[in-house]
Amino acid sequence: MVRLADLPEIDQAHLLGKACEPLPGEPFVHGPPLTQRRVAIVTTAGLHPAGQPNFDLRDTDYRVIPGDVDGRDLVMSHSSVNFDRSGFQQDINVVFPLERLRELADAGEIGSVASFHYALNGAGWEPHEIEPTAAELARMLAADKVDAAVLVPV
Amino acid sequence: MSAVGHYLEQHGIPTAGISLVRENTVAMRPPRALWVPFPLGRPFGTPHAPDFQREVLRAVLALLARPQGPVLEDFPDDAPAGPDGEESDTLVCPVSFPAPPSQALSDWHVRLAQERASLEPWYALAEQKGQAATGIAGMDIEAAMDLLATFVSEDGRLPDGMDEPARALRNAAEDVRGWYAAAMTAQPGPKPNPAALADWFWGETGAGAVLLAAYPICLHHDDPMVRRIGETQWLPRAQRHHLTKI
Per-residue pLDDT tens over the stretch B154-172? 999 998 888 899 999 999 9
Q: For residue B79, count other CB atoms closer than 10 A to its CB.
A: 25
pLDDT of B99 strictly over 90: no
Contact A46, A79 (CB under 8 A): yes
Among the partner residues A27, A97, A154, nearest to B6 by beta-carbon distance: A27
> Which residues of chain A lie closer than 8 angstroms to B23, CB-CB?
4, 15-16, 20
Per the domain annotation, does A96 fall within a domain? yes
Chain B closest CA to A76's CA: distance in Å?
A: 8
Per-residue pLDDT tens over the stretch B209-225? 999 999 999 999 999 99
- Residue range B80-85: average pLDDT? 71
- Per-residue model confidence (pLDDT) at position B83: 65
- Per-residue model confidence (pLDDT) at position A11: 78
Among the partner residues B9, B21, B78, nearest to A15 by beta-carbon distance: B21
The answer to whether A87 contacts B232, with C-beta atoms less than 8 Å apart, is no
Per the domain annotation, does A46 fall within a domain? yes
Give residue B192's Cα distance to chain centre.
Answer: 13
What is the DSSP code string of chain A? Answer: ---GGGS-HHHHHHHHTS--PPPSS------S-GGG-EEEEEE-B-EEETTSPPP-TT----EEEETT--GGGEEE--S--SS--HHHHH-GGGTS-HHHHHHHHHTTSSSEE-SEEEE-B-SSS-GGGGHHHHHHHHHHHHHTT--EEEEE--
Q: For residue B15, count other CB atoms closer than 10 A to its CB.
A: 31
Q: How big is chain B by its Cα radius of gyration, in Å? A: 21
Instruction: Give dist(CA B142, CA B119) in Å, integer.
Output: 13
Instruction: Give dist(CA B189, CA B86) in Å, integer.
Output: 9
Per-residue pLDDT tens over the stretch B32-63? 999 999 999 999 999 999 999 999 999 999 99
Contact B44, B17 (CB under 8 A): no
Among the partner residues B10, B12, B37, nearest to A2 by beta-carbon distance: B37
- Per-residue model confidence (pLDDT) at position A17: 75
Domain range for A126? 35-152
> Which residues of chain B lie closer than 8 angstroms to A50, CB-CB?
135
A8-12, A58-62, A149-153, B181-185: which range is least confident on average? Answer: A8-12
Amino acid present at A130: I
Amino acid present at B176: V
Is B110 within 8 Å of chain A by CB? Answer: no
Per the domain annotation, does A1 fall within a domain? no
SS3 at position B105: coil
Is A5 within 8 Å of chain B by CB? Answer: no
B166: nearest CA in chain A?
A: A56
Per-residue pLDDT tens over the stretch A113-152? 999 999 999 888 888 999 999 999 999 999 999 999 999 9
Mean pLDDT of chain A: 92
Amino acid present at B17: G
Integer angstrom CA distances of residue B13 from A135, A142, B29, B237: 10, 7, 17, 36
Strand partners, B193: none
The answer to whether A84 contacts B234, with C-beta atoms less than 8 Å apart, is no
The answer to whether B53 contacts A139, with C-beta atoms less than 8 Å apart, is no
- Per-residue model confidence (pLDDT) at position B116: 96
Mean pLDDT of chain B: 90
pLDDT above 90: percentage of residues in chain B: 76
Give this complex's ipTM: 0.93
Per the domain annotation, does A19 fall within a domain? no
B63: nearest CA in chain A?
A: A34
Per the domain annotation, does A22 fall within a domain? no
The residues in A 21-60 lying below 8 A from B, measured between CB atoms, are 21-23, 25-31, 33-34, 37, 39, 42, 44, 50, 54, 56-57
> Which residues of chain A lie closer than 8 angstroms to B70, CB-CB?
26, 28
Per the domain annotation, does A142 fall within a domain? yes
- Per-residue model confidence (pLDDT) at position B196: 92
Instruction: Give dist(CA B214, CA B212) in Å, integer.
Output: 5
The phi, psi pair for B124, rounded to 5°, reads: -60, -40
The answer to whether A148 contacts B64, with C-beta atoms less than 8 Å apart, is yes
Q: What is the largest CA-CA distance in chain B?
A: 70
B189, exposed or middle or buried, with CB in 10 Å at 0-12, 13-18, 19+? exposed
Q: Within 13 Å and on the Cβ side, how many CA atoms surround A115?
A: 6
B240: nearest CA in chain A?
A: A10
SS3 at position B34: strand
The residues in B 84-103 lying below 8 A from A, measured between CB atoms, are none
Instruction: Give dist(CA B56, CA A95) in Å, integer.
Output: 12
**What's the structural domain count of chain A?**
1
Chain A closest CA to B103's CA: distance in Å?
A: 33
Amino acid present at A16: L
B137, exposed or middle or buried, with CB in 10 Å at 0-12, 13-18, 19+? buried
The answer to whether B11 contacts A151, with C-beta atoms less than 8 Å apart, is no
The answer to whether A16 contacts B23, with C-beta atoms less than 8 Å apart, is yes
Select from A84, A95, A147 the residue whose CB has the most chain B CBs within 10 Å, as the one to mutate to test that interface.
Answer: A84
- Per-residue model confidence (pLDDT) at position B94: 63
The answer to whether A87 contacts B47, with C-beta atoms less than 8 Å apart, is yes
A66 or B91: whose pLDDT is higher? A66
- Residue range A67-89: average pLDDT? 92
- Per-residue model confidence (pLDDT) at position A125: 85
The answer to whether A94 contacts B44, with C-beta atoms less than 8 Å apart, is yes
